[in-house]
Each structure stands twice: as C-alpha cells, then as structure tokens.
A = this chain, B = another copy of it.
Amino acid sequence: MTRNLKRRSFIETSVKGVAAAGLLTASCIRPASGSCLEGKFIHHVFFWMKEPVTQQARDKFEKALKDLVTVETIVDHHLGIPAPTDRGVIDNTYAYSLLTTFRNKADQDIYQTHPTHLKFIDDCQDLWERVVVYDSISI
C-alpha cells in the first residue's frame, strides 16, 4: 500500500507537472498517430531581406516574428534561418523561414487578417525584398 501510495503520488505529480509546464498542448495530444503535424494546415513563409542586411534589421525582424507567432490560432511554429546544408536542390538563399501550423484553413484565414499579423506586415514590409509562401494540407 505504501508503494501504491508512492506510485500514485508520483503519477499525480507527474501529470500535474506536465500540465503545469504546458507540455501537453492540443497539438501534441490530439492525433492518435502521435504526430504534431499530421492533418494540420501548414503555412511556410520564406523571406529574402533587402541588402545590405544590417544587424539592426535582423534584430527588428526577429522581434517582430516572435510577436507575430503569438496569434492565438497558431498551433505551433518554427522561426528559422538556413541550415548549414548545401546541395543542388537546396535553396538556402533566403534570410528567414517562418513555419506555422494551424488546425485548419479557417484558423489560418483568421491569422491572415489578425491585427497582430497586419501590424507585422506594416512594421516589416520595408525590410524584405521577396516573400514566398507555401500552404499545404495533408494528402
């Protein structure tokens, strides 16, 4: 019984700890497959910055990206720069990658006209020279 109580206590503490740390997000516990990506609406944006790309421009843009991904309908995100890979098929000419996932197209549509997104475009559109977006839904 002592062991059982300890075990119960451990399990309860673990569950509470996981919940408190915000580790069990909707994106993680929903799909039966265990995938955080499967079934999601994928919105991947690549930015090419105006040359010369100053440190000041980088700092401003990275702060703006971090504000942008607070939009509530974003399930998960990855703010990236080109990885140190270089093969013929790889495009590593972009400056920033913004990968966001949504539950569905409707949630992505909300993001498109969200005040935080409009502010991001307003604040940063002078920084970039070219933007390419790839939107994907599961096969």
Contacts from A to B (Cβ < 8 Å)? 8, 11-12, 14-15, 18, 21-25, 27-29, 31-38, 40-42, 44, 46, 62, 65, 76-85, 87, 89-92, 94, 96-97, 99, 101, 105, 108, 131-139
Contact = CB atoms under 8 A, between A and B. Distances in A.
B83 A136 contact: yes
Most B C-beta atoms less than 10 A away, residue of A28, A41, A92 = A28
Closest 10 pairs (CB-CB, A-B): A80-B136, A36-B36, A28-B28, A83-B135, A37-B78, A97-B136, A25-B34, A22-B34, A85-B135, A8-B8
23 contacts: A8-B11, A11-B12, A15-B15, A21-B32, A23-B32, A35-B77, A37-B76, A38-B76, A38-B77, A38-B78, A40-B78, A42-B83, A42-B99, A44-B44, A62-B139, A65-B139, A81-B137, A82-B135, A85-B108, A85-B135, A90-B135, A92-B135, A99-B136
